[in-house]
Structure formats: structure tokens, C-alpha cells
Structure 1
């Protein structure tokens, strides 16, 4: 009986530690997306923030007419935002500022997907699906697909 209780207690402790670890990983993912994507890329055009959370091989994928797709790598996307900043169109403020709400974060080992609502001002504009990998340096966004509302 003592062995059974011991095994039960150890199992509960392991599950509790595992769920705490998952919550820490979710918080880390939220921070990466908020800092690099929302603040760095969308609202500010801040290359240091962008580079902190996007992998160098990141791709934004979208669909065109028919069965066609397009893609944009992070360097080109970042360049577009830096040009906006240089033209005085960034940082965004007020009604144009981007914000997000996290719907789900699903983590399996070193892979994760975050589903977020993307707002411009108060208007829900996109649903984003962002894929991430956990590297030695931490979580990095590697891919994004979206649905425009």
C-alpha cells in the first residue's frame, strides 16, 4: 500500500511540474509574439525586436486567386516595415495600432502553433496561425498563415 501511495504522489508531482512547465513555455511564446511580431514588426518597425523573435528563414504564406500561393520572407517583410518607419508611417498610434488576443497555444516538445486574433484599433482584421520552434536561444517564429476577415 505504501508503494502505491508513493507512486501516486510522485505521479501527481510530475504532472504538476509538467503543467507548470507548459504554462511557462506558453508565456514565453506569448512574449516572443508580442515583442517581435506586434511591437517590433507591426507597430514600431524595430529591427532588434523583430530579430529577437523571428527565425532568419521565417516565411509568411498567403493564398491568391485559384490555387496560387505567395510567400514573403522575414527580411523582405522587415525591410518593408523599416521603410515605413523611415517614411514616418511607424510607429503606429491610436486607431491604427495593432493588438492581438491569444486564442490557443498548442505545444508538443519543441514545436508550437499559436492561433491569435489580430486587431487594427478595435477592428478584428485577421486570424493568424503562427508556427514556432524552440531553438537553443529560445522560441522563434518560423511560419505564419492567416485568414483575412
Structure 2
């Protein structure tokens, strides 16, 4: 192989490796941004801290929880959920009570462009209670949770 061919090949390989590194850094940054929204707005906002302000920041205004009811779909909109969180907190919610502490595990995070899907496992007092699937979209203002479907585990 001629030395110019070797040099060209080395430059091409270096460019591919550099591009892959940049893409993976961008992907890691997006994964961290998605995790932060889910952690702040969902895990702490909706569960551990009952922080309605954090929920309003991280959930899209058109968000709903979708639940099957026979062959129909029941929708629980974010406005109703936030109202319930505010009411529960106003009625003496004790953040240190063990029954109000939810452990979580990010089982999977999948991002393609401006769409993401997060699988979160929620445990309460050592029991696996929910497996949640959160859909997110990236808007000009950042990532927002737009929908949830879930499975409630039997004890």
C-alpha cells in the first residue's frame, strides 16, 4: 500500500472514530437530560416529594396516563393528577413516612432523535409496585413527559 493511501485511510478512520465519539457524547447528554426530567418531575414530583411545580415543569400540558378499561382507554390528565398531588400534600403528607418513599430503577431508556421511551420500575417498602412506560418528546424548551402506560404488580 502506498504511503498516501495509508495516510488517507488513517485520516478516514480517525474521522469516523471522532464522529462516533461526538455522537455518543451527544447521546449520553440526551440520556442524562431525559433521566433528569423523569427523576425531578415524575419520581420526586409525583411520588417522593409531591412537588406540583416540578410536575408542571416536566410534564406536557396534554399528558395523560392511559389505562385499559375493558376495550376502552381511560385517560387521567395531568391537570387532575397535579390537583390530586396538591391536595394530598396539603392534607399532611409526611415525606419521611416509609410508605411515601418510592425507590426507582431506570430499566431502559431509548432515544431516537426527539422521541424517548423510559421504562421505570417503582418499588415501595421493598415491593415492586409499578412498571411504568413514559413517553417523552423534545420541544424547543426541552424534554417533556407526554404519556404514560403502566403495569401494577400484584403483591
Normalised by the length of structure 2, the TM-score is 0.90
Taking the TM superposition and a 5 Å limit, the aligned residue runs for 1:1-149 are 1=5, 2-64=7-69, 66-89=70-93, 91=95, 93-149=97-153
Partners of 2:29 and 2:97 lie apart in 1 by 30
Partners of 1:67 and 1:92 lie apart in 2 by 39
Tell me how large the CA RMSD over aligned residues is.
1.3
11 and 106 in structure 1: CA distance in 2 versus 1, 3 angstrom threshold:
same
Normalised by the length of structure 1, the TM-score is 0.93
Provide structure 2 residue ranges, at least 5 long, that are not aligned to the other structure. Answer: none
54 and 90 in structure 1: CA distance in 2 versus 1, 3 angstrom threshold:
farther
Provide structure 1 residue ranges, at least 5 long, that are not aligned to the other structure. Answer: none
Partner of 1:45, secondary structure, is: coil
Partners of 1:47 and 1:125 lie apart in 2 by 22
96 and 47 in structure 1: CA distance in 2 versus 1, 3 angstrom threshold:
closer
Equivalent residue pairs, number: 148
Partners of 2:94 and 2:8 lie apart in 1 by 63
Partners of 2:55 and 2:112 lie apart in 1 by 24
